[in-house]
Amino acid sequence: MPVHLRTPRPFAIRDAVPADIAGIMRLKLELAISDDIVHTVRATAADWERDAFGPHARFAIFVADCAGRVVGMAICADRYFPGWVGVNIALLDLCVEADYRDRSVGTALLTRVAAFARSRDATMIELTMRTGNRAARLYERAGFVDVTEVRHYVIAGDELERLAAPAAPLRRRAG
C-alpha cells in the first residue's frame, strides 16, 4: 500500500489584510496555548481590525499565505528608547502552523520583518521568548543573539492591580 506524505503547497509572504484576521487569531491562540498563557488572549476581531489596520495602527502583521489560508504570521511594532536615535522593531509574535514548520516559512517571515525594519531605518530587531521555545534554533540561524546579561520582568494580574491601586493617604502624626 503506497504511503502518501502530506506536503504543504508553496506559500507567499505578504502584508496582512483585514480578511486575514480569523487566521491570525487562530495562530495567536495556538501560540498562547503552547506558552500556557491562553488567559492573555482577549482581543476580538474588532480589536485586531482597529489595532492592526485602523488609522492609528499599533503594529504590523505579515502572513505566510498558502492558497488563501494563513499558515504563518509575524507581528511587530515600533519600540523607542530614550536617547537613541530612531526606532527599533520588536518582534511580538511569530507562529507557523505545524504542517508548515521546517519548510522555511519562519525564515521567510523573519526576512520580511527585517525588510520592514530596514524600511523604517531601525537599528535592531528585538524579541522575547520563553526558555525552551523550539523557535530559538530559527532565531539563532537567522543571526539573533541571546543577550544573557538582560533580565526580562513582567507584572500582571492581581500583582499589577495591587501596584496600580492608589496608596492610602499618609497619616500625619499629631504633635
Domain boundaries, the chain: 12-164
Cα 90 to Cα 155: distance, rounded to the nearest angstrom: 19
Per CATH, domain 12-164 is 3.40.50.720: no
Instruction: For residue range 31-64, list pLDDT tens digits in order.
Output: 888 888 888 899 999 999 999 999 999 999 999 9
Cα 49 to Cα 68: distance, rounded to the nearest angstrom: 19
The residues near 54 (Cβ < 8 Å, ≥ 6 apart) are none
Instruction: For residue range 96-135, list pLDDT tens digits in order.
Output: 999 899 899 999 999 999 999 999 999 899 998 888 888 8
